[in-house]
Structure 1
Amino acid sequence: MINGDSLLAWPFETKTQSYTRRDTMLYALSLGFGADPVDPWQLNYVLEDRLRVFPTQALVLAHPGPWTADPATGVDRTRVVHGEQCLTLHRPLPPDGTVRSRNRVTAVLDKGAGKGAAIQTERELHDAATGELLATIGGTTFCRGDGGFEAAGPARNRASQVVRPDAPARPDRPHDIEGELPTFSHSALLYRLNGDYNSIHSHPDSARAAGFERPISHGLLSFGLAARILEVAYAPLSLASIRARFAAPMFPGETLCLEMWRGPDNTVWFRGLCKERGKEVLSQGHARLRTSTDQ
């Protein structure tokens, strides 16, 4: 059984990671950049003589790893899913360098017995050489087998947690525009080389044991594709922040279709659908865009 106060005080280590220009190009290739080998915008992310870092690469750098697998957390690891992802960009990432971060649990929410629990986390990604804050990364882990811990355990200090607010409600009107990007049959096998080697993305037996007919795509792959679609749809604006919930997985080879609603102050709501199955895979999506002169 999990203990909320214990998780809020979880002793994460500072993570430091060096990455190369090759890693940056690999990340872009894993999002499908270069599929059109004469598109100048795509080539900016896969060629070393003009290399840029796509913003969502921050998500795979100095990651704390599968920390809920530690038995001391009390989490039933077999029933854990990635629930939500948030990313705020403060500075462009350099094409290569060293970064450091330290994860922290900000809230532990009991949904009730049989309904699971949610663990909200945050980590700040810094340039190790300059100390500059590059990105703030928030995530939610949904622990499907761990609800009801508050009723079963001792009272805890709720004041010690900071609950992340929900994204603002989407406008009640048809979407303004839509865009799409395909994935490839080997997309998950390529994306895993960014550091997430969970076998449900690569091994058919593991995927079937988890209830899937075949290996599934990484949620962060769908998240990165959504960011790509947003940057194309609203160019020359670029991402300042993006968040979404993972409603359902995609399978490699399927196409992500993004429906988008423009809001005030360069904000955008979105939701992602698997084009082939009509299934919502990203929900409660919200992003903020900025010009190159914005800080």
Structure 2
Amino acid sequence: MPIFYPDILQQGTAARPFEYGDKEVMLYAVGIGMGANPLDERELSFVYENGLKVVPTAVTVLADSVMRGVSAAVPDGLRFSTWDMFKMLHGEQKVEIHKPLPAQGAFTFSDQIIGAFDKGPDKGAIILSESKWFDAAGDVAVTLTTTRFARGDGGFGGPADGAPKPHPTPTRAPDMSLDIVTRPDQAVIYRLNGDRNPLHVDQAFARKGGFDQPILHGLCTYGITCRAVMQGMLDYDSESIASHQVRFSSPVYPGETVTVDMWRDGKEIAFEARIKARDLYVIRNGLTRLR
């Protein structure tokens, strides 16, 4: 499964239109645990069509109808790169919201590989892809940057350095720590957003993957950290978030309590997430930038 460099930097998908409605927006919010208390009017605004708000990290699933099933390609004359999906890890995720998101909308989506870094035959490769949403005027509304670790595909001859550096975590005590309790059926709900990998619901499949039980989607944990930042630092002002990024460290099991530690410096909120019961960090080097 070779990676061909620099051909891989021309690999991507053609632009395709998509749309989403309030149902998808609300389902995402419920999937990351919002709306459990219908009397909490601040969270109700993310799960009720009357004055509906959009969680910024919902952009990771709202284009799911075109993200899944779209085949990448390269221009004629270039070699198409592949990698071992069984050894692929979702390493980092960043979303940039250039314009506040409507509760329903129509956009055009495209995806492009923008970086491939060779860490060596024994260490694998780092692959960066960038997805963009374009609005009706042709302006970029959303940018998603995904970093994947292809553990079995190093040694292809690309550059070793140049991948984005993680945001440093402050050394002082957190300005705030917030506990988010996940539901035992959190993954069952979240998978309805589109990611139906059996790793998240099938116990036998999870055991084959080396886990005692099904694990929570990494992007669900990602959304939970955004929820924590909105709740703890922004009084649920979702439109003030310009970007949200994390480095994935370890999986969460549905039913666990995720503790999100946060540090605010002006328009930057650094954060990390951990599971106290297992003395384990699940998110590192998190950063939310505000408008």
Number of corresponding residues = 280
TM (norm. structure 1) is 0.88
> Which residue matches 2:249?
247
8 Å Cα contact 1:119-1:143 kept in structure 2:
yes
> Which residue matches 2:179?
180
CA distance in 2, matches of 1:274, 1:114: 30
> Which residue matches 1:34?
35
Deviates more, 1:208-217 or 1:1-10: 1-10
TM (norm. structure 2) is 0.89
Amino acid at match of 1:287: T
> Which residue matches 2:68?
65
> Which residue matches 1:142?
149
| Residues 199-220 of structure 1: CA deviation (Å, up to 9, x unaligned) | 2112222211111111111111
SS at match of 1:172: coil
Structure 1: which 5+ residue stretches go unaligned?
151-155, 291-295
CA distance in 1, matches of 2:72, 2:185: 27
CA shift for structure 1 position 102: 0.7
> Which residue matches 1:85?
93
8 Å Cα contact 1:86-1:244 kept in structure 2:
yes
SS at match of 2:204: helix
Query: 1:127-276 residue pairs with structure 2 within 5 A?
Result: 127=135, 129-150=136-157, 163-236=162-235, 238-263=240-265, 265-276=266-277
8 Å Cα contact 1:61-1:99 kept in structure 2:
no
CA shift for structure 1 position 195: 1.2
| Residues 81-119 of structure 1: CA deviation (Å, up to 9, x unaligned) | 110001111112111122221111111011112111110
Structure 2: which 5+ residue stretches go unaligned?
74-79
8 Å Cα contact 1:68-1:75 kept in structure 2:
no
CA distance in 2, matches of 1:223, 1:7: 27
Amino acid at match of 1:48: E
CA distance in 2, matches of 1:4, 1:145: 16
> Which residue matches 2:120?
112
Among all aligned residue pairs of Structure 1 and Structure 2, give the percentage whose two residues are the same amino acid: 35
| Residues 138-188 of structure 1: CA deviation (Å, up to 9, x unaligned) | 0101111111222xxxxx6x6xx9955323322222222111211111111
Residue 94 (structure 1) aligned with residue 102 (structure 2)? yes
Amino acid at match of 2:23: R
Aligned Cα root-mean-square deviation (Å): 2.4
Deviates more, 1:221-230 or 1:14-23: 14-23
> Which residue matches 2:77?
none
8 Å Cα contact 2:260-2:274 kept in structure 1:
yes
CA shift for structure 1 position 13: 2.3
CA distance in 2, matches of 1:95, 1:37: 19
> Which residue matches 1:153?
none
Q: Classify 1:57/1:272 alpha carbon distance in 2 versus 1 (closer, same or farther; 3 Å).
A: same
CA shift for structure 1 position 224: 0.6
8 Å Cα contact 2:117-2:163 kept in structure 1:
no
Amino acid at match of 1:141: R
> Which residue matches 1:76?
84
> Which residue matches 2:76?
none
| Residues 11-59 of structure 1: CA deviation (Å, up to 9, x unaligned) | 4122322212111111111111111110111110111122111111111
8 Å Cα contact 1:69-1:75 kept in structure 2:
no
| Residues 254-293 of structure 1: CA deviation (Å, up to 9, x unaligned) | 1111111222x32111111023212100011111123xxx
Residue 281 (structure 1) aligned with residue 288 (structure 2)? no
Q: Classify 1:163/1:177 alpha carbon distance in 2 versus 1 (closer, same or farther; 3 Å).
A: same
Q: Classify 1:256/1:135 alpha carbon distance in 2 versus 1 (closer, same or farther; 3 Å).
A: same
Amino acid at match of 1:28: A
> Which residue matches 1:293?
none
